[in-house]
């Protein structure tokens, strides 16, 4: 059951359809003071693209082989083995993460939407980042059909952009 603290969460969730969109968010959402965690970094291709935009970034993956390869390819960036479902391991990194990027295989389809939402809620609650950017076509599709009811919407055909969950710039309303 939801509680009051959940409703006070400030974390924004940004759903992207594919890796192109996932990476396109970087210059829009990552700023120079950010401390960024990437979950599911594989060989660190996105992690190194995030690095120049922020103060610090750590790429993580459940696969030790991926992390070994990421470290070899990008020795200037920090990479750690981490299972996304072990949020205590993320806390043990001992950083105040302001942005979290999530791109996990097996978690982007409709069948895993509930698991994904549970994971997002867990990271929002525990790490309290400003935003979580996630690669999930299913979440993007679902979110694009959601309207945050504010009570003032006119009855009748929807005006273009009137009640979108975003401000038209890809950034949600605050
Ligand atoms: C599509 S790849 C990530 C690609 C990478 N983000 C990029 O932009 O180049 C998905 C990654 O999710 C990782 N993964 C799967 N389950 C995971 C879990 N429970 N925790 C962390 N990483 C996981 C896989 O090992 C794989 O490397």
87 lines ligand 1 (CB under 6 A): no
- What does the pLDDT read at residue 104? 96
- What does the pLDDT read at residue 107? 87
Token pair, residue 101, equals 């990027």
Please say whether the beta carbons of 122 and 87 come within 8 A. yes
User: Which option is the CATH number for 4-144: 3.40.309.10, 3.40.50.970, 3.20.20.70, 3.40.50.150?
Assistant: 3.40.50.150
158 C-alpha vs ligand 1 centroid, how far in Å?
38
Q: Which residue's alpha carbon is at the smallest distance from atom 13 of ligand 1?
A: 40
- What does the pLDDT read at residue 145? 97
CA dihedral 115, 21, 38, 54 (to 10 degrees): -140
The three-class DSSP label of residue 8 is coil
Token pair, residue 20, equals 């192109």
62 lines ligand 1 (CB under 6 A): yes
- What does the pLDDT read at residue 166? 46
Which stretches of the chain score pLDDT less than 70? 1-7, 153-174
106 C-alpha vs ligand 1 centroid, how far in Å?
9
Q: Under 8 Å CB-to-CB from 75, ≥6 apart: which residues?
A: none
- What does the pLDDT read at residue 156? 63
Token pair, residue 44, equals 């660190």
- pTM of the predicted model over 0.95: no
Please say whether the beta carbons of 55 and 91 come within 8 A. no
- What does the pLDDT read at residue 27? 98
Mutate to test the pocket of ligand 1, among 44, 60, 62 (most ligand atoms within 8 A of CB): 62
Among 121, 137, 164, smallest CA distance to 22 is for: 137
The domain limits of the chain are 4-144
Cross-strand bridge partners of residue 37: 58, 100
Cross-strand bridge partners of residue 131: 12, 99
Mutate to test the pocket of ligand 1, among 17, 40, 85 (most ligand atoms within 8 A of CB): 40
Q: Which residue's alpha carbon is at the smallest distance from atom 11 of ligand 1?
A: 40
């Amino acid at each position: 059951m939801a509680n009051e603290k959940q409703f006070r969460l400030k974390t924004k969730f940004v759903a992207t359809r594919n890796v192109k969109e996932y990476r396109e968010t970087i210059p829009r959402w990552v700023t120079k003071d950010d401390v960024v965690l990437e979950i599911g970094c594989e060989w660190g291709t996105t992690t190194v693209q995030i690095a120049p935009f922020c103060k610090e970034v750590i790429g993580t993956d459940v696969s030790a082989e991926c992390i070994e390869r990421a470290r070899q390819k990008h020795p200037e960036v920090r990479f750690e083995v981490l299972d996304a479902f072990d949020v205590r391991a993320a806390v043990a990194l001992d950083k105040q993460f302001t942005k979290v990027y999530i791109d996990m295989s097996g978690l982007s389809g409709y069948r895993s939407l509930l698991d994904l939402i549970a994971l997002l809620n867990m990271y929002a609650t525990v790490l309290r980042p400003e935003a979580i950017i996630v690669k999930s076509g299913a979440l993007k599709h679902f979110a694009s059909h959601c309207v945050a009811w504010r009570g003032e919407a006119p009855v009748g055909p929807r005006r273009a952009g009137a009640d979108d969950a975003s401000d038209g710039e890809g950034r949600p309303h605050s």
